[in-house]
Structure 1
Amino acid sequence: MDNANTLLVRLKAYDARRGHVLRRYTYAGIKFQEERGWYRVVKPVADYLRTVHQLPSDTYSPLAFDVCTEAEAKALDATEADEAKTKRSASDELKLSPARPAGTLTTEDIPKQAVHTPEERDGRRSRREKEN
């Protein structure tokens, strides 16, 4: 099989939040598994897989496969590897991320200008009602 008539395909990584819910898919006797990564297939198989959606009955669901040339697949892998690396290291200048104080949050913890008495709230409500 020469590489000119083939493409690389892979099932997109499981991510329910984005609608990527397929973990395996079988077509033309080939069982595609998400964890296996890239498969080299002939162009007609790749062309079909390019149209497969995560939910077969929903044409608006995300596509199920990445279909690429070898160069595009290598670039995609490199991009994903860069994104997977830790963005911050211990030697970086890091701002403090303050934790919430332990215990229960009470009205005393809220700034005074944000606290409205029931009378103030009723006054605002009645003004709004008067405008309407």
Structure 2
Amino acid sequence: MTDTLLVRLKPYDPRRGFVLRRFTYAGIRFHDERGWYRVERKVGEHLRAVRTVPTDKYAPLAFDVCTEAEAKALDAGESEAAKVKRSATDDLKVTTARGAVTTDDLPKNTSPASAPPTAKDDDAGSKRGKRERE
């Protein structure tokens, strides 16, 4: 089995540029949702250089090409990343609700210093003269 490699189309993620959902090479049709395929080494070496956009040398690579040990490590890393969400069986702390704060909850302060400023009459304190109509 040392003359084989495991290959898979990278999972569909247009944000990262992984836009291929299927690809055919040497009579083998690769689907992204199927996962890993075991192929001959020469096929794997060719697929290692395939890009998502064939004419763009800066486009991301379309395939993950690995040995069996590398593929297992890659799968294990992805499954750990997928377990970020908390489950019901985890030891979770109680999250207390804060509730809504309304104006009734604010402290009542009647001192004159805390009173809101009053609006001045625009005509009384205005230093600029009004324009005359022509």
Alignment partner, residue 81 of structure 1: 79
Runs of 4+ residues over 4 Å off in structure 1: 94-98
Which residue identity does 1:85 align to in structure 2?
K
Equivalence map 1:46-85=2 (5 Å) = 46-85=44-83
**AA of the residue aligned to 2:43:** V
Report the aligned-residue RMSD.
Answer: 2.5
Q: Which has the higher helix share?
A: 1
Alpha-carbon distance in 2 for matches of 1:84, 1:18: 18
> 2:22 aligned with 1:8, yes or no?
no
Q: Is residue 93 from structure 1 mapped to residue 93 from structure 2 by the alignment?
A: yes
Cα separation, partners in 2 of 1:18 and 1:25, compared to 1, 3 Å:
same
Q: TM-score, normalised by structure 1?
A: 0.67
Q: Unpaired segments of 5 or more residues in structure 2?
A: 102-134
Unaligned runs of 5+ in 1: 102-132
Identity of aligned residues (%): 62
Shift of 1:30: 0.3
TM-score (ref. length: structure 2): 0.66
**CA deviation string 1:21-43 (max 9, x = no partner):** 00000000000000110000011
Q: Measured at CA, do residues 25 and 95 of structure 1 come closer, stay the same or move farther in structure 2, by a change above 3 Å?
A: same
For the structure 1 residues 95 and 31, does the alpha-carbon distance in structure 2 shift closer, same or farther, using more than 3 Å as the test? same
Partner of 2:27: 29
Q: Which has the larger radius of gyration?
A: 2
SS of match in other structure, 1:35: coil
| Count of aligned pairs | 99
